[in-house]
Amino acid sequence: MLISKRMYAVVAAATAGIVTATVAPAAHAGTMIQGFDQARDYSSSRDFIPNVRSFYIGGYACPGGTGIKFRVSLLKTSNKNILYASPTRPSDSQWAHWPVTTPYVNQAHYVRITYLKQDDGVGATFCSGVSADW
């Protein structure tokens, strides 16, 4: 029977009278982060394929453009349906994250950030970014 080095260390410690326990960390499947320079109206991320139903999306936008606030949306790539639209956030260069759930596990999605003026019309920004963490 073959014993891995890790198992050998556990067996050796146990026989020496030392009790050890190991806990495996939760699996982290993936992260997508993408930044944009000088954008108008909205920007969209590259596609990503989450292998879980629930995960987080996020975004930020820099101040100084006509887009003084932003909204982040999760969309299904195949039909461009919006699965989630965040509340608006100020363009203050601070990341914001929201929990989302999709019924489309193992299918392509993307994140879109929309830059908004005070009156909720589309604006522009000098820099922004989006993320997904599953």
Half-sphere CA count of 16, side-chain side, radius 13 A? 8
Q: Is there a domain that residue 21 lies in?
A: no
User: CB–CB of 74/82 below 8 Å?
Assistant: yes
Q: What is the pLDDT of residues 20-73, one digit of tens each?
A: 344 444 556 899 999 999 999 999 999 999 999 999 999 999 999 999 999 999
Query: The domain spanning residue 100 has which CATH number?
Result: 2.60.120.380
Q: Is there a domain that residue 13 lies in?
A: no
Q: What is the pLDDT of residues 87-130, one digit of tens each?
A: 999 999 999 999 999 999 999 999 999 999 999 999 999 999 99
Q: Is there a domain that residue 19 lies in?
A: no
Q: Which helix (DSSP H) or strand (DSSP E) does residue 89 occupy?
A: strand 89-90
Per DSSP, the three-state class of 110 is strand
- Nearest in space to 57 (alpha carbons), one of 67, 69, 72: 72
Q: Is there a domain that residue 87 lies in?
A: yes
